[in-house]
Homo-oligomer: A and B are copies of this chain.
Amino acid sequence: MPDVVADLIEALGPDVVRTGDAVPQRNCADWSGVPPVRPRAVVLARSVVDVAAAVRVCHAHGQPIVPQGGLTGLVGGAAPGGDEVALSLERMTGIEEIDVDSATMTVLAGTPLEVAQEAAAAAGFTLGIDLGARGSCSVGGNVSTNAGGVNVLRFGMARASVRGLEVVLADGTVVTGLNKMLKNNAGYDWTQLFVGSEGTLGIVTRVVLALHPAQPEVTTAFAVVPDFVAALIALRRLQSRLAGQLVAFEAMWPDFIDFSARVCKAHPPIDPGAGVALIVEAASAAAAGGDRPLETALADLVEDGIVTDAVIAKSVDERRRIWAVREAPPAEYPVHVPGFIPYDVSIPLGAFDTAVGELRAALSDRWPGIMALFYGHVADSNLHLVAHLPGVAEQPRAAVNEVVYAVVARHGGSISAEHGIGRQKRPYLALSRSPEEIALMRRIKDALDPTGILNPGRVL
């Protein structure tokens, strides 16, 4: 019997199927830090026909497949194993249609997010998905991982932007449901299964995305509240006052602000002291008199004693400097705290402050002197935490995981807010999901991929 690689080359040719030294370095790892591994072969599919052909061959051989998009994942979902065939969609790029009437865009799954964003903008629309890796990540990857990012407060997770999908199932069947309509209750919305299942149930090849009207100019503010309780009150008030127009609500705790200012030289426009610092953005056009709704809303919050102080960015440069306080540390961790241990968790907002306190105490008790920086997309329940033991070459990653995830689980939180489970969080899934939930996931997996060839060892 010819082996799977020979059959793949036979079916698709040596330009599409690369092996040995012809496997591009790019396809050997993702952004998770998993060491690069050369897969058995890489299939550089040119079309859905190629994807289906490759999956059919692998299915016949029981050959595990790891689907790859922009390879920007942070949990090892797309990092290949040495016995896997990597199925890359990087060549399948392009906007197939922008339907102005339906306000939808149909794109090939390998299209970089930024390309899709720019095409939407050129047509007078805004795409609902945005994240830091926009230049590298692909739309298919965004959908497969139900990406979060910086627009979730306003437009929801990637799931909320998906109107239709084309997927290739584990046996090579192509299922096409390129729905453009907001309302379509004709049978199960099967597309939902493939959003966020990280390539373990099928391979997304085409996506219909909902588009939003082009956004009015954004107003950005840096504000300080005395504590997290005040932050939640401010959030609720702003959501009410600026209904549907609040874009960002980021919180940063003192240790994070200190790191940002002292280490990264990104100084906040107001010193938050022991308070919680906020970055708030709203997309609302100025009123006739030139008043910006966010400005008046914040002024009222200051008057009511909920917000200690606030400043509005008056220029592009001031906006940039406000965001640098939040964005400089993640960009500079590799330089200043190599080996740092990052977390992306969700905690119900009512337990958020308690959980932050418990996390800080638990980490300091166990590792006196540990650096623990807290910040997050608070309106989304999303906490980012970075831990680092100064001067320690081998960071105690597994032990810190245990401590952090135990606190998250105790408060009914999620061990993965937006990054997914992949390979790296798989051991901890049971902390956020009950045995019945995991059994149900397994039943879905077995129904759609009975031989288990799609991204094995990820999620479940």
Contact = CB atoms under 8 A, between A and B. Distances in A.
Interface of A: 99-103, 124, 145-146, 148, 152-154, 156-157, 159-160, 169, 173-177, 179-190, 192-193, 195-197, 201, 212-216, 232, 236, 239-240, 243-245, 283-284, 287-289, 291, 346-350, 352, 377, 379-382, 412-421, 425, 429, 432-434, 436-441, 443-444, 446-448, 459-460
Contacts of A438: 187
B192 A193 contact: yes
Contacts of A432: 184, 186-187
B184 A189 contact: no
6 contacts: A157-B185, A159-B192, A184-B414, A185-B416, A185-B417, A188-B459
Contact of A421 (B185, B291, B425): B185
Given A185-B416, A186-B432, A288-B291, A437 B382 contact: no
B102 A419 contact: no
A102 B243 CA distance: 16
A65 to B, nearest CB: 18
A380 B289 contact: no
7 shortest interchain CB distances as A-B pairs: A244-B244, A447-B447, A192-B192, A101-B350, A213-B240, A186-B432, A181-B381
A417 B231 CA distance: 40
A183 B381 contact: yes
Contact of A146 (B189, B416, B447): B189
A190 B240 contact: no
Contact of A239 (B160, B213, B460): B213
Contact of A181 (B169, B284, B413, B436): B413
